[in-house]
Amino acid sequence: MGRLISAEFRKILTTKMWWALLIPTVALAALWSIGGNALVGAIVDQTDQSEIAGAVKANVSNLPWSTLIFARTVNISALFPIVFGALAVSSEINRRTITTSYLTAPNRGTLLGAKLITYAIWGLAFGVVITGVDSIGMAIASHPEQLPDAVSWLEIAGTGILSCMLWTLLAMGIGALFGSPIAAIISLLLYTLLVENLIGLVLPDNWPGILINGSADGLTGSVAAQLIVDKVSTISPYFNQEAQDAASNIARTLAGARGAFDWWISGLIFAAWTAAFVVGGWFMSKQRDIT
C-alpha cells in the first residue's frame, strides 16, 4: 500500500494540476476573506448605534462577525478541492492510464484505497491553505474586536479543513462513478453553485441541512453562528433561549448555512454523503471494463 500511495503522490506532483488549482484557490480565498471582512466591518460600524444594538442591549461591533466571512470563504473556496478530487480517477479513465495503474496493484480495491488515502491528505492540505489564507485575510481586514479568540479560531479552522477533505473525497467518488472528468466537474459545480441553492429556497426549516451542500456548509457555518450567539448571551441579559434560537438561525443564514444543524451533526451527514459516493465510485470502478 505504501508503494502505491507514493506512486499516487508522484503522479500528482509531476503534473501541473495541483499548483494550477492551488493558485486560484489562494486568490479566491484572499479575495473573499479580505473583501468580505472589510464589507462586514463597514456595515457593523453603521449598525452599532441602531435599533438592533439597542434591542439586544449589547454593542454589536464587539461580536466575532469575522467568523461568518471565514465560513463563507471556506465554503466557496472548496470549489477547487472539488475539482481536484473529481479528477483523481476520472482523468486516468479518460486518458486510459488507469489500466496500467491497475496492473501495478495487487487488485483494483487496493489501488482505489491508495487513491483515497492520497487524496484525503491532499484534501487536508487544500484545507490548511484555504483556512490559512482565510485567517490572514480576516486578520488584515477585520476590526480587532470582531476577531475570534484562539480556541474559537481553532474550532472553525478545524471544521473548515475537515470540510475540504470530505469535499475532495466526495468529488473523487463522483468522478469514479461517472468515469468522465468533464461530466463529473460540470455536474458537481452545477449542483453546488446552482441546483441545491434553488432547491434550498423552497425547502422548509432544517431540510436544506440534510443536503450535500447544506451539510458541508453547516460544518463551518454552524460553528460561526454559535460563536456569535454565545458571545451575545454573555453580554446581554435580555438574550433568552427563544432569542438565541432565532439569532442562531439568522447567523447560520448569514454564514451561508441556512437550515444547518449543529456542526457535528452536519459533519456526520456530510460524511455519510461522502461515504455513499465513495462506495458507489468504488463499486463502479471495480466493475468497469477498462480494455
Q: What is the pLDDT of residues 11-43, one digit of tens each?
A: 999 988 899 999 999 999 999 999 999 998 888
Confidence label for 47 from pLDDT (cuts 50, 70 and 90): low
In the prediction, which pLDDT does 99 show?
Answer: 79
Handedness of CA 263, 31, 40, 148 (dihedral sign): positive
Residue 235 domain boundaries: 2-287
In the prediction, which pLDDT does 145 show?
Answer: 87
Distance from the Cα of residue 203 to its chain's centroid: 21
In the prediction, which pLDDT does 266 show?
Answer: 95
CB distance 68 to 217 below 8 Å: no
Query: CA–CA distance from 86 to each of 165, 169, 172, 184, 278 (Å)?
Result: 13, 8, 5, 6, 11
Confidence label for 252 from pLDDT (cuts 50, 70 and 90): confident
Task: Look up residue 233 and give its three cell numbers.
Answer: 448571551
Contacts of 134 (CB under 8 A, 6+ apart): 29, 32, 33, 70, 73, 74, 77, 160
pLDDT at 51 over 70: no
pTM above 0.85, yes or no: yes
- Rounded Cα distance, 145 and 42, in Å: 14
Task: Look up residue 31 and give its three cell numbers.
Answer: 479575495
> In total, how many domains does the chain have?
1
- Rounded Cα distance, 173 and 280, in Å: 7
